[in-house]
Structure 1
Amino acid sequence: MERVSVHVFINGLVQGVYFRKSLKEEALKNNVTGWARNLPDSRVEAVLQGRKEDVKKVVNWAKHGPPRARVTEVEEDWQCPAKEYKKFRIR
């Protein structure tokens, strides 16, 4: 099965609302690996890897996020995995 990778930037009210923790839970539920971190400009940045349909599920979840989040935009850059992640980490 082909593995894909997507680099995402999530804009909106996404810090201080458990976005990264919830994103990790969603990734683990869908067998997706990678990482997520807060950026100084209030966005969340993440790399998600796995089977295409699984990664798409997590990206679609990120478009609304956890209950307290207010996502305004998700920028997606789909690519072939350059580096393979074995688990999902919050940086």
Structure 2
Amino acid sequence: MVIRIPEARLHIRVTGRVQGVGFRSFVAQNAKALDLTGWVRNVGRDQVETVAEGRRENLEKFTQTVRMGPSVSDVREMDKEWEEPLGEFEIFKVRWI
């Protein structure tokens, strides 16, 4: 078994019309396509939070995708924070809590 050590870790919080519009599924699908690991979840009434690890280049692409969101969403604000990768994730998943 090969253990991948991620290059970078990105913590993103988006605010706007991002709940009830398929935003988490959109984020998860795009993260998987970019070979990222981590999670995405709803926070409060109008926020989605995601933590992703992988190649920095792919995380940059991921940032652009998250900012765009699915067509029915409206991202009004996005905060991102680069962190040290921990290598704690095996897959990318939607968290329900």
TM-score band, normalised by shorter chain? over 0.9
Helix, strand or coil for the counterpart of 1:22? helix
Helix, strand or coil for the counterpart of 2:15? strand
CA gap 1:28/1:2 in 2 versus in 1, 3 angstroms: closer
Report the equivalent of 2:25: 21
How many residue pairs get matched? 91
CA gap 1:57/1:88 in 2 versus in 1, 3 angstroms: same
Shift of 1:40: 1.4
Q: For the Cα contact (< 8 Å) 2:53–2:87, is it kept in 1?
A: no
Q: For the Cα contact (< 8 Å) 2:11–2:82, is it kept in 1?
A: yes
Gaps of 5+ in 2: none
Helix, strand or coil for the counterpart of 1:35? strand
Helix, strand or coil for the counterpart of 2:68? coil
Given the alignment, which residue of 75, 92, 97 partners 1:88? 92
Partners of 1:32 and 1:83 in 2: CA distance: 11
Gaps of 5+ in 1: none
Instruction: Render the CA deviation track for 1:47-71: whole Å, top value 9, x for unaligned.
Output: 0110000011111111110010000
Residue identity (%): 33
Larger radius of gyration: 2
CA gap 1:2/1:16 in 2 versus in 1, 3 angstroms: closer
Q: TM-score under structure 2 normalisation?
A: 0.88
